[in-house]
Structure 1
């Protein structure tokens, strides 16, 4: 039986971000059936290595897998824009480093067409295949029990509508835009869930902290939660705003859509290339405010938003994506 070695540094350093979620959920997905064996990090060795991160652990673990290394490109050079201070000066080094990361792999999984473009732009010669992040729909399904639990976790009271934001506390994620939108809609409660994996190295940390301190009382910053709590956190909300300026194949909006709520994306090229079905989008803060108010106050438009979310997640069917991964592993190892 084919044995897959799944590797990620996120359990040791950064659990509160999308890469860790993707790693955890892929392991769970692979273990759903008995057609392959799965070992994780230090649990042993396999026939093929599939790594989700790009630190020293990736290079160390990969030393025994020449010709059988697979890397999922969750992060590309553009991901540092608005994430780290002085990113413009770091960019040449980041480009050089990620070329090394992707070139070390025999196969690089591009999560979206935009990721594929970024890898090719670096001059990487490794084989590139496009496989999306899967959405484990049953995990995120909304229940009344989860909604009550989520509202308790977020310390919410009353029956006000809840507008959720999920992501790291940094400008790349559109946090300051979220604050502008929230200030314009005092009739709802706005909650942002997420922390700072990079700590004091986060771009614009003082500016953002000052904005958070001055936020109105209907805006709440809840901090980070364990992955196990996130189905309840999503269920506590009514709408997700996702104003991020750069993403690859983000999980948070798909998780929210699977939880049964409208999602409003930023109107950027990444999504127009990625998504096969329509999605709610806003190009400006004013457009975000208008869309959010419409979702809050027009029940028929809200129902349309729910239908859009339901359709959107069909592209990320877990069984289809699982089979694509298994086929790739077998091809790389040379086993039927």
Structure 2
């Protein structure tokens, strides 16, 4: 069995969650002993497509002409497209129609969580839909004192500094306005938001927040490697106030780093994140302020150990075995359309 992993615009998506999904899928298939290619001109047995750009429909059509089954990995929904780029809300209904058309052309769908599966079912898509986590590279986020030192040095931090971390694009959907407001109310802490989006592509209110932010907020942009991995382990809390996700790979990264995680109480985190068990959940700025203070000042019990267990359940190796089972099922049940 040989799988074509198709990701359109690899350079463009490399810094996003979908970009990390590509890395994880390559690792997962290797660990499961499944041969794969990234070249649509290669021979393959099954197409596993991940993106929804203009080239995607052509790759799908070619696979169908050749009598090969197609699995669509649904990373995107109308809900997580909203409140992102300029005009995203106006375009969202058209984007949904585009997604439904593409996703419906597959033979089966994979999506990261039961929540995103329920959204797709709500779109009226009548295909087998499997919920499989994007997975997490546990080794990458194991505690490494050298990485923590690199993080401290990069931001000129000392042992008395208390840091609240977040990671994401500059989107309103990611909860950036709430992150800034919480930082204003907790001037005794430093707040670091890793990630980058060209400011010309986001609405004015978000652009202004990034350009004119409180002095205790740091926007280092897109940073990879030891710095961000050290930050996950060395910060005092990971705060992710996103309003909508299909999974939230950065949350898995924080859990894998044994970090104290504070998230917004939204559907995507049910049932795998449990309040006061493996994370803390809030719904408002007031609640987030109280939770962050409680975590940073250690007035609230640590949920790090349970969070780590949650990440371990979503290891790359586990994802590989789940993908292998799905591939085998789809191949077994596939019946090419008659011309």
Tell whether the structures are fold-level matches, with TM greater than 0.5: yes
**Aligned-partner SS, 1:329:** helix
The aligned residue for residue 4 of structure 1 is 3
Equivalences for 1:49-128 in 2 at 5 Å?
49-66=47-64, 67-128=68-129
Give the aligned CA root-mean-square deviation in angstroms.
2.2
Please give the TM-score of this superposition, normalised by the length of structure 2: 0.89
**Aligned-partner SS, 1:31:** helix
Instruction: Note if contact 1:70-1:108 (Cα within 8 Å) is conserved in structure 2.
Output: yes
State the distance in 2 between where 1:180 and 1:79 align.
Answer: 22
Instruction: Note if contact 2:4-2:40 (Cα within 8 Å) is conserved in structure 1.
Output: no
Equivalences for 1:95-174 in 2 at 5 Å?
95-153=96-154, 155-159=155-159, 160-174=161-175
Q: CA deviation at 1:279?
A: 2.7
Show CA shifts across 1:114-139 (max 9, x none): 21122122222232122122122112
Unaligned runs of 5+ in 2: 334-339
Instruction: Note if contact 1:262-1:308 (Cα within 8 Å) is conserved in structure 2.
Output: no
The aligned residue for residue 218 of structure 2 is 220
Which range moves more in the overlay, 257-266 or 306-315? 306-315
The aligned residue for residue 207 of structure 2 is 209
Q: CA deviation at 1:12?
A: 2.9
**Structure 1 moving runs of 4+ over 6 Å:** none
State the distance in 1 between where 2:21 and 2:270 align.
Answer: 22
State the distance in 1 between where 2:81 and 2:260 align.
Answer: 28
Q: CA deviation at 1:222?
A: 0.7
State the distance in 1 between where 2:69 and 2:183 align.
Answer: 48
1:306 pairs with 304, 307, 313, which one? 304
Show CA shifts across 1:158-211 (max 9, x none): 2212211100011100011001111111222110011116x5232x2x222322
Unaligned runs of 5+ in 1: none
Instruction: Note if contact 2:152-2:158 (Cα within 8 Å) is conserved in structure 1.
Output: no
Q: Within the alignment, does 1:297 sit opposite 2:297 as a pair?
A: yes
Which range moves more in the overlay, 315-324 or 16-25? 315-324
State the distance in 2 between where 1:15 and 1:192 align.
Answer: 18
State the distance in 2 between where 1:316 and 1:131 align.
Answer: 9
State the distance in 1 between where 2:41 and 2:165 align.
Answer: 37
Q: CA deviation at 1:42?
A: 5.3
Which range moves more in the overlay, 277-286 or 74-83? 277-286
Instruction: Note if contact 2:40-2:59 (Cα within 8 Å) is conserved in structure 1.
Output: no
State the distance in 2 between where 1:224 and 1:152 align.
Answer: 17
Which range moves more in the overlay, 21-30 or 212-221? 212-221
Instruction: Note if contact 2:150-2:226 (Cα within 8 Å) is conserved in structure 1.
Output: no
Q: Which has the higher helix share?
A: 1
State the distance in 2 between where 1:43 and 1:306 align.
Answer: 45
**Aligned-partner SS, 1:173:** coil
Q: CA deviation at 1:229?
A: 5.6
The aligned residue for residue 313 of structure 2 is 315
Aligned length: 327
The aligned residue for residue 19 of structure 2 is 20
Please give the TM-score of this superposition, normalised by the length of structure 1: 0.90
2:248 pairs with 247, 250, 258, which one? 250
State the distance in 2 between where 1:144 and 1:257 align.
Answer: 17
Show CA shifts across 1:228-250 (max 9, x none): 76423423422110000001111
Instruction: Note if contact 1:102-1:126 (Cα within 8 Å) is conserved in structure 2.
Output: no
Residues 213, 95 of structure 1: alpha-carbon distance in 2 compared, 3 angstrom cutoff: closer
**Aligned-partner SS, 1:281:** strand
**Aligned-partner SS, 1:172:** coil
State the distance in 1 between where 2:207 and 2:120 align.
Answer: 34
The aligned residue for residue 288 of structure 2 is 288
